[in-house]
Chains A and B, each alone.
Chain A
């Protein structure tokens, strides 16, 4: 397999919101989920993941609280907020049109 693609700038926020829209998760879990869902094509750099999470929290798109994990470990659990869902909807639209545009250009003969 090719080495995993690095995430495009700015898309990490979108992916995090998407993963969280499926249910609350902690940081490590989020990176695993992105990895899994993308069939190992995307890896998340931890150096970007946590700053992104804290930034989203600061903007009010996600909410965080300390809970105990299934393995009895103290973890910080992130949940998407209503504002976060709005943002996700909007950004998903933006991404789709962007990706369609890029796709169109790439397939131009």
Chain B
């Protein structure tokens, strides 16, 4: 137990450090004065007497330092307790606030970044899907090797689904699903809901049971019995207040009554758009499911999902599918070759192509943690070097090596625990930020939760690094002989001790790693700039888009082969366009389906007249993009019309067929010739479809992504569109200023045409573009943040080493000044040392980046891994950073007063 006196003494030390300092000064001053008087008594002059007294006393500073050490060393009774060491370590950290603060912050950043990125990786890539035996679930896509559209998943046909359901051997269930939009309610404020139509075994196939009620029965596929609906948990909570009594009640969907038979489990919203191929136009999250029989005839939009029997491998599942495709070839020889399918494991499908991005970001976060550890080790070493004197005294005062090591270890543990706590708080906040702000196209966003194991692992790694880099030199330092340390006053330690060398190596490593991260983020920034700066073929500012769905009950679709749009739908569209056009601030309005960057795109087979028959297919594709348009689409999108004319209101159902093609299509079909007046028709050469005359050529438009190459495309007026999938229409409005202000007036204009039609998916074109680049921007943002932090850390490391070097060599600098060296020469010396270290790191870092950059390759657009612009920029940035880190120490070196420096020796 400490005595009362010791407690008081410590209290006084804590509360009034100034007073203690004053006391020490007084005591030492009194000593010197008394010695001076004695010297005078021996016959010296007053001045000489004082000088001798001071000389005999020795350097006051080092005596005071020793006294401080005595006072900050716990006295005997508390000494041997862990609590005492802890108390001491805390006080020691508090005394070096800058050092402790920087170290803690650095480590906390590394821990936060690593745990956050790993939580994302683990939530998206590693955690099992929340379905029963998800490894048995596959998605079934159509596969047409001859039809490379740049995306690999095609719909499967309804007739094939029937065959698969009937003749399956390796599967316990096979289902099909297709998105369908529903307008809820028939009242003044209809709401549009994201529905999915599914065949009856859908819930069995994916492996979930409804939380309330039941799944569909096979009888409910029959028209007439199919007006039943299962709600998603989220919809049930939002619209129905989580009331279990809704089961059995009736709601109105698309003006027809549907009975609620079930509620899906919490969190279940399959299919989610981010987890499905973009061109299937799956909803962001499914809100309700309704049953259907697989539709037969007409273009199919079906996706397939199946559950394999236990123990069936992917190859066996695929073999069974192939067997049934051959069977289908026999049953329907006219479709031979078009019945192939490909099974994709559910996990592969859901996680999709973000694996590369997430793994790269996690790797980057790990590198950042490494840098943080190196930096912390760096700071620990720096502090040890400046504490050699103190440690030597402590050893002389009777502390054993083990005890000193224990105190240092406790200090390191304190720093890492505080950093760990902060890092975990940061990680938790980061996870919730990613969940709310994360890119819309990141799959399994809802499955991302903070991963405690990773937090613990990161802290463990940090502690290990702290112990490794901090403790080993500490053991060495603590063995320094007392007499040496005291005589040297703790300053003249040799410049090239092992720990100084270690620090230089660490700093070079730190620079190398941060160069690697900086290059990575530079490449992503350049790539993103290319994506966003590229010619989209349409203009983003001042553009607004939205969708409306015409309920088939009121606006029936005609069926193939003679189908054209129902006159009621045509009337709705032309009325709506007229009324929106009349709104002040609207410069142009049109419908266009599909609009670019809005998910599903459409394509068609066609036949050109007067084209070189040897043309064959376009890069292996017998198909062009197909867009239905109203007059004014090009003006509304801001797409330049390069030749000819736009559609006009006189292009009607009965008038001669017209078509606008894009530049790629014109150059493909009629290179070097005028395409205006040429003719094409839909289908193959033998199809009876009417001819359409080319009346204009538009610029190429990017449709799916910002990084795609241009594809041939044709535009057809909506009045002459023979395809039936037109109940959902996309509008595009070009405004004079802020487009969001037009939403209200547009809603009123549409309500005046048909009050039951809600607006949905209201997006500015800016938002569509920004969504299309969401993952790239996410990756770039995170990587840039890592790169910037890494550079700052490297700068701190460089500064520490260079400043220490200057401090150590200040007598040398003083001597050089005395011998006539100019300030400039001294500054140059220091800078040369800093730049030497930085260059080693730079070279190693660039080499590392060239190797590690391969990981990024698939994420880069029009930028190579060895992009010279990025390399030069990073080199310049690093040289600037180095200069910044060295300038202060260099100036200090050049300002050393030769007398002071030599005196100190």
Interface presence of B75 (CB below 8 A): yes
B31 touching A54, Cβ below 8 Å: no
Q: Is the CB of A51 within 8 A of B63?
A: yes
Bound: A66/B30 CA distance, A: 12
Q: How far is the CB of B635 from chain A (nearest CB, A)?
A: 88
- Tell me the complex Cα distance, A24–B363, Å: 68
CA distance in complex: A16, B69 (Å): 20
Asked if A54 contacts B71 (CB within 8 A), the reply is: yes
For residue A17, give the distance in angstroms from its CB to the closest CB of chain B: 15
A100 on the interface (CB 8 Å rule)?
no
Question: How distant is the Cα of A75 from the Cα of B33 in the complex, in angstroms?
Answer: 11
Given A55-B397, A58-B6, A73-B33, A47:B70 Cβ within 8 A? no
CB under 8 Å from chain B, chain A span 45-66: 45-48, 50-51, 54-55, 58-60, 66
Contact of A50 among B5, B28, B35, B482 (CB under 8 A): B28
Q: Which of B26, B31, B67, B393 has its CB near the most chain A CB atoms (within 10 A)?
A: B31
B9 within 8 A of A: yes
* Known contacts A9-B396, A60-B3, A73-B30, A45 near B58 by CB under 8 Å: yes
Which of chain A's residues have a CB closer than 8 A to the CB of B393?
Answer: 51
Q: Can you name the residue of chain B whose Cβ is closest to the Cβ of A26?
A: B30
Docked complex Cα distance between A26 and B397 (Å): 22
Give the Cβ gap from A8 to chain B, nearest Cβ, in Å: 11
- Smallest CB-CB separation from B38: which chain A residue? A32
A94 to B362, CA, bound (A): 64
Question: How far, in Å, is B53 (CB) from chain A's closest CB?
Answer: 10
In the complex the two chains form, is B75's CB within 8 Å of A9's CB? Answer: no
Contact-size category for B: 35 or more
Least CB distance from B543 to A in Å reads: 78
**Total A residues in contact with B, Cβ cutoff 8 Å:** 25
Which residue in B28, B75, B396, B482 is a CB contact (below 8 Å) of A58?
B75
CB < 8 Å neighbour of A73 from B3, B5, B34, B35: B34
- Residue from A26, A28, A48 with most neighbouring chain B CB atoms (10 Å): A28
Within 8 A of A (CB), among B1-56: 3, 5-6, 9, 23-24, 26-28, 30-31, 33-35, 37-38, 56
Please report whether the interface of chain A is mostly helix, strand, loop or mixed according to DSSP.
helix
Is A96 interfacial (CB 8 A cutoff)?
A: no
- CB of B680, distance to nearest CB on chain A (Å): 99
Check A58 against B34 for contact (C-beta < 8 Å): no
Q: A47-B58, A71-B37 are in contact. Are A28 and B31 (CB under 8 A)?
A: yes
* Inter-subunit contact A47/B34 (CB<8 Å): no
Q: Which residue of A lies closest to B482 (CB)?
A: A9
Indicate if B618 sits at the interface (CB-CB under 8 A): no
- Asked whether, in the complex, the Cβ of A46 is within 8 Å of the Cβ of B58, the reply is yes
Residues of A within 8 A of B6 (CB): 58, 60
**A5 CB, min distance to chain B CBs, angstroms:** 14
* Contact yes or no, A50 B58, CB < 8 A: no
Set of chain A residues within 8 Å of B35, measured between Cβ atoms: 28
B76 touches A (CB below 8 Å): yes
What residues of A have a CB within 8 angstroms of the CB of B332 in the complex? none
Q: Which residue of A lies closest to B396 (CB)?
A: A9
Report chain A residues within 8 Å CB of B452: none
CA distance A59 to B27 in the complex (A): 19
Query: Does A90 lie at the interface of the complex (its beta carbon under 8 Å from any beta carbon of B)?
Result: no
The answer, yes or no, to whether A107 is at the interface (CB within 8 Å) is no
Q: Roughly how many angstroms separate A60 CA and B397 CA in the complex, as a whole number? A: 16
Residues of B within 8 Å of A9, CB to CB, are 396, 482
Which A residues touch B69, using CB under 8 A? 51
Residues in B neighbouring A60, C-beta threshold 8 A: 3, 5-6, 75-76
Chain B residues with Cβ under 8 A from A54's Cβ?
Answer: 67, 70-71
Closest to B57 in A: A46
Residues of B near A76 (CB, < 8 A) are: 23, 26-27, 30
| Nearest chain A CB to B9 CB, angstrom units | 7
- B486 in the interface, Cβ–Cβ < 8 Å? yes
A26 to B28, CA, bound (A): 11
Contact partners of A32 in chain B: CB under 8 A: 38
- What A residues does B3 contact at CB under 8 A? 60
Instruction: Choose among B33, B35, B66 the residue with the greatest number of A CB atoms under 10 Å from its CB.
Output: B66
Residue B449 at the A interface, CB < 8 A? no
Cβ B30 vs Cβ A50 within 8 A: no
**Chain B hits for A109, CB < 8 A:** none
Interface hub of B23, B26, B34 (most chain A Cβ within 10 A): B34
Q: Say whether, besides A59-B76, A74-B26, A51 and B67 are in contact (CB < 8 Å).
A: yes
Q: Given A28-B35, A74-B30, A47–B66 Cβ distance below 8 Å? A: yes
- Which residue from chain A places its CB closest to the CB of B32 in the assembled complex? A28
CB distance from B457 to the nearest CB of A (A): 42
Instruction: List chain B residues, Cβ under 8 A from A26.
Output: 30
Chain A residues closer than 8 Å to B34, beta-carbon distance: 28-29, 69, 71, 73
Verify B31–A27 contact, CB threshold 8 A: yes
Q: Does B721 reach chain A (CB closer than 8 Å)? A: no
Distance, CA A50 to CA B482, complexed state (A):
16
> B26: which A residues are within 8 A, CB to CB?
74, 76
Cβ of B62 under 8 Å from chain A: yes
Does the CB pair B31–A46 fall under 8 Å? Answer: yes
- Among B27, B37, B58, chain A packs the most CB atoms within 10 A around the CB of B27
A75 to B30, Cβ gap below 8 A? yes
Indicate if the CB atoms of A50 and B75 lie closer than 8 Å: no
Is A50 within 8 A of B67, CB to CB? Answer: yes
Chain B residues with CB under 8 Å of A75's CB are 27, 30
Among B28, B30, B58, B75, the one with the most A-chain Cβ atoms within 10 Å of its Cβ is B30
- When distances are taken between beta carbons in the complex, the residues of chain B under 8 Å from A55 are 70, 73, 397
Considering the complex, give the chain B residue whose CB is closest to the CB of A59.
Answer: B76
A46-B30 contact given A58-B70, A58-B75, CB 8 Å threshold: no
For window 1-55 of A, CB contacts with B under 8 Å fall at 9, 26-29, 31-32, 45-48, 50-51, 54-55
Whether A28 lies near B30 (C-beta < 8 A) is yes
Distance in angstroms between the alpha carbons of A58 and B398 in the assembled complex: 14
Q: How far is the CA of A40 from the CA of B32 in the complex (A)?
A: 19
Q: Contact: B63 with A47, CB < 8 Å?
A: yes
Residues of B within 8 A of A58 (CB): 6, 9, 70-71, 73, 75-76
Q: Considering the complex, give the chain B residue whose CB is closest to the CB of A6.
A: B483
Q: CA separation between A9 and B485, bound complex, in Å?
A: 14
Q: Which of A27, A31, A51, A59 contacts B66 (CB 8 A)?
A: A51
**Which A residues touch B37, using CB under 8 A?**
71
Least Cβ–Cβ distance between B10 and chain A, in angstroms? 9
| B contact residues around A69 at 8 Å (CB) | 30, 34
- Asked whether B62 lies within 8 Å of A47 as measured between CB atoms, the reply is yes
**Minimal Cβ-Cβ distance residue in B for A57:** B9
> Given A60-B3, A60-B6 in contact, is the A50-B27 Cβ separation under 8 Å?
yes
Q: Which residues from 854 to 870 on chain B have a C-beta closer than 8 Å to any C-beta of chain A?
A: none
| B397 CB, min distance to chain A CBs, angstroms | 7
Cα distance A71–B393 in the bound complex, in angstroms:
34
> Closest Cβ of chain B: how far from A18's Cβ, in Å?
20
Most B CB contacts (10 A, CB to CB) among A26, A48, A74 go to A48
**Which A residue's beta carbon lies closest to that of B35?**
A28
A50 to B57, CA, bound (A): 11
Complex contact B9–A50 (CB within 8 A) = no
Nearest residue in B to A45 (C-beta to C-beta)? B58
Q: Which of B30, B397, B486 contacts A47 (CB 8 A)?
A: B486
Output the least CB separation between A6 and chain B (Å): 8
A61 CA / B38 CA spacing, docked (Å): 29
Nearest to A64 among chain B residues (CB) is: B27
- Chain A residues near B31 (CB, 8 Å)? 27-28, 31, 46, 50
**Listed A/B pairs (17) with beta-carbon separation below 8 Å:** A27-B30, A28-B35, A45-B58, A46-B28, A46-B31, A46-B56, A47-B59, A50-B24, A50-B63, A50-B66, A51-B67, A55-B397, A58-B9, A59-B75, A60-B76, A73-B30, A75-B30
A-B CB proximity, top 8 nearest: A58-B75, A51-B66, A28-B34, A28-B31, A54-B70, A76-B27, A51-B70, A47-B63
Interface residues of A (CB under 8 A from B): 9, 26-29, 31-32, 45-48, 50-51, 54-55, 58-60, 66, 69, 71, 73-76
* Known interface pairs A51-B63, A59-B75; 6 further A-B residue pairs with C-beta atoms within 8 A, sorted by A's residue number: A28-B35, A51-B70, A58-B6, A58-B73, A58-B75, A60-B5
